[in-house]
């Protein structure tokens, strides 16, 4: 099964929210009900209104309802620079998006408890390995029982060196030592795991700031990226989490996981438009290759279950 097919399958629950309100390719739309459906999918009231107004305008210019809605959704799902490019060249599902090249050599991975950061790091390690990068893990989750061990096991399985701290040790020290080791070994990329924490826990958020500062002491240019792993099931609550993490450590990217387990896939729109932080990867399953680079065009067409729109 191709990645697009898995994405289309994974978005089934979110698509079910929209399906009853989407008419045939030439049928009359009920724009109000379609707007309510977008809100139910956690797009948010303001963005849903914007999408519907743009879809109406597209429809008046001769597009079918699905084409009009797809274009309006894409316009909201891309950061401003990409939106301008897509308006020039048009949307094409068959265009291969660029490789997700991190800025710098160190990527810090953050998030609340239970979103699957450690497993996501393993999937990222495999992705970068397959694209010719030498990778190292830093197992900085020193608070959770066996947190470091879990990433070490993944490292052994993937052949990725892992520097781990003892349970209860200072996670900032682990990040520092790993940053120094990466430079000494001349490796391309270090992925730093961190312990899960609620965005409302002030002391733990301060600790996360410390980890970031200490990485900078090992290499003043790093970390080049700070990526938040966000569970799509949390919907709008996830957006609030992201805002607090962004305020604390300056997020540079979002990884949205578990899109296959929720009807709230519309949360991607407010992440892009309200948070202003790009989505780097999305996940629709537990397999190693079920985490892939974010592609707004593929996401929209999988959501509307209409691959021919890209033709």
Rg over CA atoms, the chain: 20
pLDDT surpasses 90 at 226: yes
Shared domain for 185 and 63, answered yes or no, is no
**Residue 233 placed within a domain:** yes
pLDDT one-digit tens code per residue, 6-44: 888 888 888 888 876 776 545 677 899 889 989 988 888
Shared domain for 111 and 77, answered yes or no, is no
pLDDT band, very low/low/confident/very high, at 84 (cuts 50, 70, 90): very low
Shared domain for 209 and 243, answered yes or no, is yes
Shared domain for 191 and 146, answered yes or no, is yes
185 class by beta-carbon count within 10 Å (0-12 exposed, 13-18 middle, 19+ buried): exposed
Shared domain for 127 and 53, answered yes or no, is no
97-101, 122-126, 132-136, 227-231: least confidently modelled range: 97-101
Is 108:195 a contact under the CB 8 Å cutoff?
no
pLDDT attached to residue 12: 87
Shared domain for 290 and 306, answered yes or no, is no
**Residue 273 placed within a domain:** yes
pLDDT band, very low/low/confident/very high, at 263 (cuts 50, 70, 90): confident
pLDDT band, very low/low/confident/very high, at 116 (cuts 50, 70, 90): confident
**Residue 85 placed within a domain:** yes
DSSP the chain: --HHHHHHHHTHHHHHHHHTT---TTSPP-HHHHHHHHHHTT--HHHHHHHHHHHHHHHHTT--HHHHHHHHHHHHHS-HHHHHHHHHH---TTSPPPP---SSSEEEEE--TTS-HHHHHHHHHHHHHHTT--EEEEEE--SSTTHHHHHHHHHHHHT--EEEPPTTS-HHHHHHHHHHHHHHHT-SEEEEEE----TT-HHHHHHHHHHHHHHHHH-TT---EEEEEEEGGGTHHHHHHHHHHHHHH---EEEEE-GGG-S-GGGHHHIIIII---EEEEE-SSSGGGEEE--HHHHHHHHTT-GGGG-
pTM: 0.88
**Residue 279 placed within a domain:** yes
pLDDT band, very low/low/confident/very high, at 115 (cuts 50, 70, 90): confident
**Residue 101 placed within a domain:** no
pLDDT attached to residue 110: 95
**Residue 54 placed within a domain:** yes
pLDDT surpasses 50 at 86: no
- Based on the structure, what is the number of domains in the chain? 2
Is 229:117 a contact under the CB 8 Å cutoff?
yes
The CATH number of whichever domain residue 88 belongs to comes to 1.20.120.140
What mean pLDDT is reported for the chain? 84
The CATH number of whichever domain residue 178 belongs to comes to 3.40.50.300
User: 10 Å Cβ neighbour count for 111?
Assistant: 26
Mean pLDDT (whole number) for 277-304: 86
Shared domain for 238 and 162, answered yes or no, is yes
pLDDT surpasses 60 at 88: no
Take residue 284 and report the two structure tokens written for it.
Answer: 């629709």
pLDDT surpasses 70 at 222: yes
pLDDT one-digit tens code per residue, 123-156: 999 999 999 999 999 998 877 656 678 899 999 9
Name the percent of the chain lying above pLDDT 90: 41
177-181, 216-220, 291-295: least confidently modelled range: 291-295
pLDDT band, very low/low/confident/very high, at 121 (cuts 50, 70, 90): very high
Shared domain for 263 and 153, answered yes or no, is yes
Shared domain for 68 and 127, answered yes or no, is no
Domain with 118 in it: 106-296
Mean pLDDT (whole number) for 94-116: 83
Shared domain for 62 and 210, answered yes or no, is no
Shared domain for 92 and 134, answered yes or no, is no
pLDDT surpasses 70 at 309: no
Which of 200, 294, 288, 195 minimizes the C-alpha distance to 248?
200
Highest mean pLDDT, choosing among 102-111, 233-242, 276-285:
102-111
Shared domain for 126 and 168, answered yes or no, is yes
């Amino acid at each position: 099964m191709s990645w697009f097919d898995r994405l289309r399958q994974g978005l089934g629950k979110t698509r079910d929210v929209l399906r009853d309100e989407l008419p045939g390719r030439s049928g009359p739309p009920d724009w109000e009900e379609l707007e309510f459906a977008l809100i139910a999918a956690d797009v948010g009231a303001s963005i849903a209104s914007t999408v519907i107004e743009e879809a109406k305008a597209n429809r008046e210019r001769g597009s079918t309802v699905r084409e009009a809605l797809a274009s309006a959704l894409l316009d909201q799902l891309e950061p401003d620079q990409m939106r301008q490019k897509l308006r020039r060249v048009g949307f094409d599902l068959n265009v291969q998006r660029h490789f997700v090249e991190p800025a710098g050599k160190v990527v810090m991975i953050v998030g609340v408890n239970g979103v699957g950061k450690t497993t996501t790091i393993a999937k990222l390690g495999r992705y970068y390995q397959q694209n010719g990068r030498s990778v190292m893990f830093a197992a900085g989750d020193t608070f959770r029982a066996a947190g470091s061990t879990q990433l070490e096991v993944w490292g052994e399985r993937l052949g990725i060196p892992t520097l781990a701290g003892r349970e209860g040790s200072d996670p900032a020290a682990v990040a520092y030592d790993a940053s120094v080791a990466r430079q000494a070994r001349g490796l391309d990329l270090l992925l730093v795991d961190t312990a899960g924490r609620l965005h409302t826990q002030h002391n733990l958020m301060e600790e996360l700031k410390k980890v970031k500062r200490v990485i900078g002491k090992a290499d003043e240019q790093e970390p080049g990226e700070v990526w938040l792993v966000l569970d799509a099931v949390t919907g709008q609550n996830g957006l609030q989490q992201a805002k607090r993490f962004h305020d604390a450590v300056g997020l540079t990217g979002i990884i949205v996981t578990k899109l296959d387990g929720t009807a709230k896939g519309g949360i991607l729109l407010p992440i892009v438009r309200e948070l202003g932080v790009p989505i780097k990867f999305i996940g629709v399953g537990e397999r190693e290759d079920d985490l892939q680079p974010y592609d707004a065009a593929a996401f929209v067409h999988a959501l509307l279950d209409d691959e021919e729109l890209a033709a």
